[in-house]
Structure 1
Amino acid sequence: MDSNTVNKVVKDALNHNQGKINSIYFTACGGSLVDLYVSKYFLEAEAKKVTTGWYTANEFVHVTPAKLGKDSIVFVCSHSGNTPETVEAAKVAQEHGAFTIGLTFNKQADLLTYSDAKIIYEWGNEAEVVNNPMAITLHATAKLLHGIEDYPYVDQFEDGFKKIDTVVANAIDQVQPRTKAFAQKYKDEEMFYVLGSGPSFGHAYGFAICSLMEMQWLNASAIHSGEYFHGPFEVTDKNTPYILIKSLGRTRALDERAQTFLEKYAEKIEIVDAKELGLDMIDDKVSEYFNPILFYTILCEYRSKLADVHNHSLDVRRYMGKVKY
């Protein structure tokens, strides 16, 4: 993705409604919705005036935020560009006067009909994560907040985006033995709990519902590391596998607390640690927001190895695109 494209989208969005922007929303479905989580989290953590929301597209259509209007920017993402609920969400956003930013892999997508700004992202090279929709949206959101509220760490973000591909490429090599061992060890398991916190919780959820449930037909549930001790830990035993996505940043303490308990009372534990994988190369003022960008690619390695030992292609579906729903 050419950085000039992101800069133009941000400039056009900031010029919308004479620059009077008070809300930025994110809407999509499934994996595309997961891609938008970190940007929503970033605004919740860093914005002083701008409000935000993160919605599955069909809910955005049926329960449209009352604040949505000409003062709003709405990011709408669909990989195919033709997900009916997402296309309708973009249409609703436009009808309310919002500036819509559509992200898709498909140059002929229906979504683009209702997109004031159009981002066609690249796909297929997992080592160049700056080109995926998660990174593009986060990059644009940081620039938007800088333009609206003078967010102070935009330069650190720029430096982070220059480094993240190197971090990811090194991490891919680093995890190969672990991912193969994981797949062999857990090839017969049918249920996984996935823990995460902070900006990474979105990808704990995404890995559970997309990688494990959708792509491998395995039962899975995402648990926020901070909520683990408020109910879910009661099912902890030595027979159930746990995958803990251990973030770098302010919520790392939540993950460490969960890890300590799991190491005492469980036996089947896989820790995926952003610090071990080199994310601390990025300035600590912004590094936590790069967690899910790193975890996306690394957990793709885990799911790929599971698919191999299961002889179950990641592209096989039972219902999706095959029956009416």
Structure 2
Amino acid sequence: MNVSKVISTINEQTQNGITEVYLVACGGSLVDMYPSKYFLDSEAQKIVPGMYTANEFVHSLPKRLNKDSVVIVCSHGGNTPESVEAAKVAKERGAHTIGLTHNKEANLLKYSDHQFVYEWGEDSDVKNNPMAIIMELSVEILKVTEGYAHYDAFQGGIEKINGIITEGKKLVAARAKAFADKYRTEGLFYILSSGASYGHAYGFAICSLMEMQWLNAASIHSGEYFHGPFEVTDKETPFILMMNEGRTRALDERALTFLQKYAEKVEVVDAKELGIGTIADEVVEFFNPILFYSIMCVYREALADVRNHPLETRRYMGKVAY
């Protein structure tokens, strides 16, 4: 499915052009949408973006939803009941639905006007993974509705990011193992980041640590750290700080300065050090979370290995009624 063609088709079918973009999913798929919400909040002047966990979208449907709205729904397996229902409700309201899944037989696709069955796994190019595809859809929507001055720079970033990730994984392999060895017995982690990457701080906490490792974890926005959360900082509590390149780096640097003074268990993952600076300054901030997702997978795999707790292990998900 061609992103440009899909958005051009949708825009031609609207009465007033695309006026709203709703990003709807659950769990890790919702995390994949956060960078696009951040992008549209930052760059759009007329389009109204919204991001919803799927069940809230269903039960608290936005009144703005209309025939000029685009609703992007993502579900990895494609059969998450809340996400399927969200797409169904959106379609019934006349909105244009775009469904993303890894499963070509997914129920989600029944309610998707436009369908993306994305690549997944170690051998896939990240530009064909959901986070990047949803970003491309959002950028294309902005381009056709309002224009986007940095469109070419963004496309250049899409072509570069996979290579940056490949080299970044090599760079962190040894330190990820050292991290896992050092923190193997810890039961609580705080994850900090800012900008487009705050969504992945949340995602690493709820998916990688809580779901996949049964560890207590919480995300903290680097800008909010000094407005309450820093009071729990001590020399015994582990913090992971994902430092962005781009406009919000100053927020991460401020948090790092404080952590270096008052904490001892601090793991810093710096996008700048990992080579993301080869992407144009005007768009680099939107690529931080795409990089961080792949890099933090190295960390979680190392932790799972040393803790002898496979990432696929579950006690409730898919096992009991909920």
What TM-score bracket applies, with the shorter chain setting the length?
over 0.9
SS in 2 for 1:178: helix
Of 17, 24, 27, which residue of structure 1 is paired with 2:24?
27
Q: State the partner residue of 1:203.
A: 200
Runs of 4+ off more than 6 Å: none
- State yes or no: 1:255 paired with 2:252: yes
Aligned mates of 2:262, 2:82 — CA distance in 1: 43
Q: State the partner residue of 2:77.
A: 80
Q: State the partner residue of 1:96.
A: 93
- State yes or no: 1:175 paired with 2:177: no
- 2:26/2:53 contact within 8 Å kept: yes
Aligned mates of 1:95, 1:168 — CA distance in 2: 40
- State yes or no: 1:234 paired with 2:231: yes
- 1:126/1:297 contact within 8 Å kept: no
- 1:127/1:165 contact within 8 Å kept: no
For residue 283 of structure 1, what is the amino acid of its counterpart?
Answer: A
Q: What is the CA deviation profile of residues 233-276 of structure 1, one whole-angstrom value per residue up to 9, with x for unaligned ones?
A: 00100000000010111110000000000000000000000000
The alpha-carbon deviation at position 128 of structure 1 amounts to: 1.8
Q: State the partner residue of 1:141.
A: 138
SS in 2 for 1:229: coil
Give the percent of matched residue pairs that are identical in Structure 1 and Structure 2. Answer: 62
The alpha-carbon deviation at position 18 of structure 1 amounts to: 4.1
Q: State the partner residue of 1:293.
A: 290
For residue 251 of structure 1, what is the amino acid of its counterpart?
Answer: T
For the structure 1 residues 19 and 158, does the alpha-carbon distance in structure 2 shift closer, same or farther, using more than 3 Å as the test? farther
Where structure 1 has 5 or more consecutive residues not aligned to the other structure, the ranges are none
- 2:206/2:218 contact within 8 Å kept: yes
- 1:246/1:271 contact within 8 Å kept: yes
- State yes or no: 1:275 paired with 2:272: yes
Q: State the partner residue of 2:320.
A: 323
- State yes or no: 1:128 paired with 2:86: no
For residue 293 of structure 2, what is the amino acid of its counterpart?
Answer: Y
For residue 4 of structure 2, what is the amino acid of its counterpart?
Answer: N
Aligned mates of 2:13, 2:259 — CA distance in 1: 49
- 1:34/1:202 contact within 8 Å kept: yes
SS in 2 for 1:26: strand
For residue 36 of structure 1, what is the amino acid of its counterpart?
Answer: M
Of 104, 107, 118, which residue of structure 2 is paired with 1:107?
104
Q: State the partner residue of 2:37.
A: 40
For the structure 1 residues 112 and 209, does the alpha-carbon distance in structure 2 shift closer, same or farther, using more than 3 Å as the test? same
For residue 314 of structure 1, what is the amino acid of its counterpart?
Answer: L
Of 147, 152, 166, which residue of structure 2 is paired with 1:155?
152
Q: State the partner residue of 1:190.
A: 187
Aligned mates of 2:305, 2:122 — CA distance in 1: 19
- 2:15/2:68 contact within 8 Å kept: no
Calculate the TM-score normalised by the size of structure 1.
Answer: 0.98
Where structure 2 has 5 or more consecutive residues not aligned to the other structure, the ranges are none
The alpha-carbon deviation at position 127 of structure 1 amounts to: 6.1
Coordinate RMSD, CA, aligned:
0.9
- State yes or no: 1:219 paired with 2:255: no
The alpha-carbon deviation at position 126 of structure 1 amounts to: 6.0
Aligned mates of 1:176, 1:96 — CA distance in 2: 48
Aligned length: 322
Q: What is the CA deviation profile of residues 58-106 of structure 1, one whole-angstrom value per residue up to 9, with x for unaligned ones?
A: 0000011110010100110000000000000001111111100000000
Aligned mates of 1:306, 1:40 — CA distance in 2: 30
Aligned mates of 1:150, 1:6 — CA distance in 2: 16
SS in 1 for 2:32: helix
Calculate the TM-score normalised by the size of structure 2.
Answer: 0.98
SS in 2 for 1:101: strand
The alpha-carbon deviation at position 140 of structure 1 amounts to: 1.4
